[in-house]
């Protein structure tokens, strides 16, 4: 049966349809979610101090930041984003103006990601690696001499994707983490730029993706080009395209597949589906894979709009919207304290 729903957003130029406000719950749930966000912030600060101290002490801070910038937001990623943005103009799942407010706000998140998140994440990841080396050396595997490096690299990349999947599921299961992750799901006009619509603190929840490389690091490091390619593949699923990839869509996450994960309303009795980053197999193993079929693209966003969105209040500038979205998880009465 085709999964069909009329788009939640109006045609270009038409005012947005208002949504009823979501009321935040009161009591322990609200306090727990708020305290959890503060705990994540404290953890990030601690790892950042450890990482920065380590990099400064070794004289590697500037080179580490430059390497991270090149791998994460370098020419390859910019080219992929530009190509996908052009493809969205030619074959959009839902037609949108080039300068739609959603695009402008998400472009702001891309700028924030490049200017702030990547440097912050670099020192935090370094701090995480240092702490693993100090307190969990039993996790690190000695060199596997008989195993070819190409196999080690492949295992690390698959492991990275598995850990990203597990962290993504956790972001939907934990009330505290959902406070941070809900921002990403608030986008009602998805595009390739929506990849970067994330709260800076939410990246800390994906630090576990470093473990495969740390555990198997003695047997070989992952080439930078492989990490760049993985990062580019992660941007593809958010594109405003109806591409399902045919039979390949049973292996690799496609835009049509991932759009179902961003559905505004429940589309499956199992709850949220399609958590995969690049590979579909993790969803299949967890029985949370739902493959797209022909029909009108599913409306995206969060029912009731618990996160401030740019589709309302046309007079509010993109910077003010972005600030309201980033600040909301720190409010004790945040509306997204409801079930993820």
pLDDT in tens, 147-181: 999 999 999 999 999 999 999 999 999 999 999 99
Q: How far is CA 241 from CA 99, 190, 261, in A?
A: 17, 9, 14
* Mean pLDDT, residues 85-106 taken together: 95
Q: What is the pTM of this model?
A: 0.89
Show the DSSP H helices in the chain as ranges: 28-58, 61-73, 75-90, 101-112, 118-135, 149-173, 175-185, 211-215, 224-235, 255-261, 281-285, 318-327
In the predicted model, is pLDDT for residue 6 greater than 60? Answer: no
The proportion of the chain whose per-residue pLDDT surpasses 70, expressed as a percent, equals 88
Q: Closest Cα partner for 277 from 250, 254, 247?
A: 254
SS3 13: coil
Band (30; pLDDT cuts 50, 70, 90): low
Length of the chain counted residue by residue: 340
- Delimit the domains of the chain by residue range: 28-332
Whether residue 296 has pLDDT greater than 50: yes
């Amino acid at each position: 049966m085709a999964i069909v729903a009329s788009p939640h957003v109006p045609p270009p130029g038409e005012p947005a349809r208002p949504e009823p406000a979501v009321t935040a719950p009161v009591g322990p749930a609200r306090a727990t979610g708020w305290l959890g966000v503060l705990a994540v912030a404290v953890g990030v600060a601690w790892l950042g101090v450890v990482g920065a101290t380590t990099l400064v002490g070794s004289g590697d801070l500037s080179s580490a930041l430059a390497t991270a910038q090149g791998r994460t937001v370098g020419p390859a990623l910019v080219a992929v984003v530009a190509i996908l943005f052009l493809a969205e103009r030619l074959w959009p799942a839902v037609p949108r103006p080039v300068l739609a407010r959603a695009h402008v706000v998400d472009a702001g998140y891309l700028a924030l990601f490049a200017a702030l998140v990547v440097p912050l994440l670099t020192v935090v990841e370094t701090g995480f690696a240092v702490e693993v080396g100090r307190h969990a050396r039993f996790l690190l595997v000695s060199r596997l001499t008989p195993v070819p490096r190409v196999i080690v690299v492949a295992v690390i990349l698959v492991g990275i994707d598995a850990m990203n999947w597990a962290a993504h599921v956790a972001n939907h299961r934990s009330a505290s983490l959902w406070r941070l992750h809900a921002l990403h799901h608030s986008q009602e006009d998805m595009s390739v730029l929506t990849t970067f619509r994330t709260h800076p603190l939410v990246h800390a929840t994906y630090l576990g993706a470093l473990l495969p490389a740390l555990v198997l690091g003695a047997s070989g490091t992952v080439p930078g080009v492989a990490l760049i390619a993985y990062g580019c593949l992660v941007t593809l699923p958010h594109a405003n395209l109806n591409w399902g990839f045919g039979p390949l869509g049973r292996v690799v996450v496609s835009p049509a597949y991932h759009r179902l994960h961003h559905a505004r309303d429940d589309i499956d009795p199992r709850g949220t589906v399609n958590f995969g980053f690049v590979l579909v197999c993790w969803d299949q193993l967890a029985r949370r894979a739902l493959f797209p079929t022909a029909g009108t693209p599913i409306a995206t966003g969060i029912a009731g709009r618990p996160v401030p969105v740019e589709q309302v209040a046309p007079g509010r500038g993109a910077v003010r919207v972005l600030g309201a979205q980033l600040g909301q998880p720190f409010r004790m009465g945040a509306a997204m304290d409801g079930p993820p």
